[in-house]
Structure 1
Amino acid sequence: MREEKAGKRKPNIVFLIADDHRFDGIGAYGNEVVRTPVLDDLAAKGVRFSSMYTMGGQTAALCVPSRASLLTGTNIFKATVSEKEVMLGQTENQQLWELNPTLPTLPEVYRRDGYKTFGIGKWHNGKASYARSFAGGANVFFGGMGDHIGLPVHDYDPSGIFHADDAKPSDKFSTELFADSAVDFIQQHTDEEPFFLYVAFTAPHDPRTPPQAYLDQYPLEGIPLPGNYMTEHPFDNGELSVRDECLASFPRKPDEIRQHLAEYYSMITHMDEQIGRIVQALQDSNQDEHTIIVYTADHGIALGQHGLLGKQNLYEHSLHIPLIMRGPGLQVGAEVRGLGCQMDIYPTLCELTQTPTNPQVEGRSLVPLLEGSEDAARKSIFGAYKNVQRMVSDGRWKLIRYFRCGEVGSNLTQLFNLQTDPWELSNVAEDPAGEDHLKRLEEELLAWQVAVKDPIKLVSERSQG
């Protein structure tokens, strides 16, 4: 694969990232309700990674640490703040929204390698990192969320200052606006240099207000409840009253959850159609055959699973993300099942394009997995949420450890066998048959926490022994 690229023009990259799009919200990932023909086609003509995970974060605005990890190729504790700040446990400090200035971003390394970098849409990691990442841009949104019509967006500012007063409210739905900018860039790009086009959608994040024609495609009677639907979460996980959880009534009502899912799927279908316009622009400009298209998301979301609505948890629905890649040097119709982490995308693209990477990158290239080396897969992946939740999984066995912090949270452990219990309904932490797995995972989690300088440490009788 890598040898085939030698001596050829480097491929373009179109990097598409959605907000809140969980792994099973795509037809190609097994969802029989949502309509995603464009993403399904990209998966059919490229590679679908079925076991990619984000790592959580130290703030309720999880798009910040997850995008920071993706953009720097490092763990969530290193990606945004200094070691001192992490150790102080400043979980809501605004500095957590800024990328670590010592770490070159993914588009920045491409910019240094001669690519024309162009950023469109949401950037929730500070203006300074955007300025050093992109040589151009359009309709840039510095923030976490907002109305999809009237979103305050900036023109590209060569000075990198992006004064707040210069933002203008959009007159189009955000998904269409960002797709328009991407199509314009592709059509106007006539330079010999390859490009790195970064398009960050605010969909399907709430407020989920899809155009009515798309909502009409999802009548409530056709929306099944998830297999782990609950009216309420069975215990205090440390974050039951965050904004996201208050977007539906307590206890959860079946039709209300169906309405949330219908709006979610509608937003996804609308976005899928707009992505189709971007793909068509590549084809019309004869750039499709030498462009790698990447589709992923910052994290997932619950929407009724486990009685939760948001993503401030470490269950599969919130950590498990889609990753689709299609383009030169990639197989057609392949599925990669080995465990991977969001920060692995950075070195993977660099290896595919023979682009020098940053030596501080902690992610592992997925190229060996693409070439059939199953031994190259991660043995375990890890996650954190604020100072109240920690997680480790080897793909089959998964441990979630909860901590009481002040007046919230619980001191308890969950152990799931994902092979027999993919909905994470049966906690076997007290089952003697799972004792060896519990001990092993606790030790792995503690070792990871020490390695990444986690501000909290796993405390248990086993880890003390």
Structure 2
Amino acid sequence: MKKPNVVFIISDDHRYEAIRSSGNGVIQTPTLDALSGEGTALEGMHIFGGLTGAVCAPSRACVNTGRPIFRSMVGSDVSVWEHSVNIRPDVPLMPQTFRADGYHTYAVGKWHNDKGSFARSFAGGDKLFFYGMSDHDRVPVQPFDPEGSYPQEREQVCETFSTELFTNAAVDFIREYDREQPFYLYLAYTAPHDPRTAPEPYAGMYDPETIPLPANFLERHPFDAGDMEVRDEKLARLPRDEAEIRRHIADYYAMITHMDAHIGRVVSALKDKGIYEDTIIVYTADHGLSIGQHGLMGKQNVYDHSIRIPFILRGPGVPQGRRIPALASNIDMFPTLAELCGLRMPAGAGGVSLVPLLEGRERLRPVVCTAYRDVQRMAKDSKWKLIRYYRSPVTDTGTDRIQLFDLEADPWETNDVSGDPANAPHIRRLAEELQRWMEEYGDFMQERPVLPN
């Protein structure tokens, strides 16, 4: 029996709740709502983490290798940029594994990791973007390079809006595909990353005055979380102004709704080709975003708005109309797709297949953890969440402290209950889980105390 095609869609900065079917009553996302209704939304998906402020790159490396950042990257020195971007040459990637199994692998859009890992993964592609961000109407892209070198002089600056530019290339690929072998299409948007300049009519779709502020809006974060001067945090003035934050949220939603419409074009192309029912569609993101929550603007933190991401699956082997709250990590995406498509998973991956969750057989991760640089670590179960903050010896920033949140009573993480003596057992238990996670995945912070003295 022919294996299913795969369309793997990954966006930039899309947090888990900014989808209407995830409970957001303001945003309009009809395509993603339909995909989740026809498939399964795994609501407990979290990123593994990042080693620099550009969380995009290490997070995408985790997705594409199924390995923790400490074992997928060429190093883990937070002061060395290449350690957060370059994937080890001996580590097999998801598209590389699909390619070796006979899939025709094709890429469109953003690849924020090294060009060597891209070259060994894809047999074709178009409109390839090897940076972190750009103006959406001036996008430096390259055509596919059979030599795999992608020198900068091959770049062409395209003035078509990035979301439309990448969608056009993906739709053209689907329409023109005439091979017998199944395909693996990797479609990586730069939306809804700033600059959040959605074209009309989307730019005016959301009135900032009617946008509700999140329950955890703050004028400023109450302490130094370790990366308070990163670029993202300078996108709005301090103290955070309510009207300005509403405008940022309106622009963010506009970018997402515009992207959703173009994902709809990809779905239509699959249907027109007659292969929609034979194709697994994945939608996810590299991380979330604060935009005023906890007084922050970026993703350089381990609050849920920044580490929880969408993960929607639709297609052969995926149950319809299910929403699964169980905890998962983005290193689990590769093993899940491999099992759904009948591929042998390469040895050494730290992720686990989520197919047992899809089938309702078992809960796989009672605890999930996340790392950010050398200043934050997080461990959470279905009810409690522990955040450990460190003072960085590299940058001399950060705070030596913890937070504990009761997520059932306080899903917006507004009330730190770590000072309540009754919660000491929860702190100890999650600290022990975090220590085990650090040791299992080779975290360079494992020698630092998990709890402050």
TM class by smaller structure: over 0.9
**Aligned residue for 1:264?**
252
Using the TM superposition, give the Cα deviation of residue 459 of structure 1 relative to its aligned residue in structure 2, in angstroms.
4.5
Tell whether the 8 Å contact from 1:91 to 1:386 is kept in structure 2 after alignment.
no
Residue 386 of structure 2 aligns to a residue whose secondary structure is strand
Aligned-partner SS, 2:377: strand
Which residue of the partner structure matches residue 120 of structure 1?
Answer: 108
Aligned to 2:400: 411
Q: Distance in 1 between matches of 2:450 and 2:401?
A: 13
Unpaired stretches in structure 2, ≥5 consecutive residues:
none
- 1:232-247 alignment runs, 5 A limit: 232-247=220-235
Question: 1:380 matched to which residue of 2?
Answer: 367
Task: Give the letter aligned to residue 74 of structure 1.
Answer: R
**Does residue 333 of structure 1 match 2:321?**
yes
Provide the C-alpha distance between the structure 2 equivalents of 1:95 and 1:369, rounded to a whole number of angstroms: 33
Query: CA separation in 1, counterparts of 2:377 and 2:190?
Result: 27
User: 3-state DSSP class of the match of 1:209?
Assistant: coil
Alignment pair present for 1:454 and 2:443: yes
CA-to-partner distance for each residue in 1:351-377, whole Å, 9 max, x for gaps?
011012111111110000111123x32
Aligned to 1:4: none
Q: 1:319 aligns with which of 307, 313, 336?
A: 307
In the alignment, is residue 15 of structure 1 matched against residue 42 of structure 2? Answer: no
Asked if 1 retains the 8 angstrom alpha-carbon contact of 2:431 and 2:450, the reply is no
CA distance in 1, matches of 2:241, 2:196: 18
Does the Cα contact within 8 Å between 1:58 and 1:92 map onto a contact in 2? no
1:69 corresponds to which letter in structure 2? C
Farther off after superposition, 211-220 or 31-40? 211-220
Q: Provide the rounded CA distance (Å) in 2 between the counterparts of 1:403 and 1:95.
A: 20
The separation in 2 between residues aligned to 1:222 and 1:101, in whole angstroms, is 50
Does the 8 Å contact 1:446/1:463 carry over to 2? no
Mapping 1:193-342, distance limit 5 Å = 193-342=181-330
Q: 1:84-99 to 2 correspondence within 5 Å?
A: 85-86=75-76, 89-99=77-87
Aligned residue for 2:423?
A: 434
Matched to 1:398, the amino acid is K
Give the total of aligned pairs: 451
Following superposition, the deviation at residue 72 of structure 1 comes to 0.2
Tell me if structure 1 keeps the 8 A contact 2:105–2:184.
yes
Residue type of the alignment partner of 2:157 = P
Q: Counterpart amino acid of 2:204?
A: D
Whole-angstrom distance in 1 between the partners of 2:78 and 2:432 = 26
CA distance in 2, matches of 1:45, 1:292: 11
- Distance across 2 between alignment mates of 1:207 and 1:291: 32
Q: 2:152 aligns with which of 144, 150, 164?
A: 164
Of the candidates 368, 373, 381, which is equivalent to residue 394 of structure 1? 381
Long gaps (5+) in structure 1:
1-7
Maintained 8 Å contact 2:125/2:143: yes
User: Given the superposition, is the C-alpha separation of residues 207 and 462 from structure 1 closer, same or farther in structure 2, using an over 3 Å criterion?
Assistant: closer
Query: In structure 2, what is the Cα distance between the partners aligned to 1:133 and 1:9?
Result: 21
Deviation at 1:458, TM superposition (A): 6.3
Instruction: Indicate the residue corresponding to 1:78 in structure 2.
Output: 71
TM-score (norm 2): 0.97
For 2:170 and 2:351, the matched residues in 1 are separated by 28
1:421-456 CA distance string (max 9 Å, x none): 101111111111111000111111112212222222
Question: Is 1:44 the equivalent of 2:33?
Answer: no
Deviations 1:50-101 (A, max 9, x none): 11000211111000110000000001211212xxx33xx3433324211121
SS of alignment partner, residue 399 of structure 2: coil
**Deviation (angstroms), 1:460:** 4.6
Match of residue 434 from structure 2: 445
Alignment TM-score, normalising by the size of structure 1? 0.95
Cα 1:461–1:70 change in 2 (3 A) is: closer
Retained in 1: the 8 A contact 2:400–2:452?
A: no
Counterpart code for 2:116: A
**Offset, 1:49:** 0.7
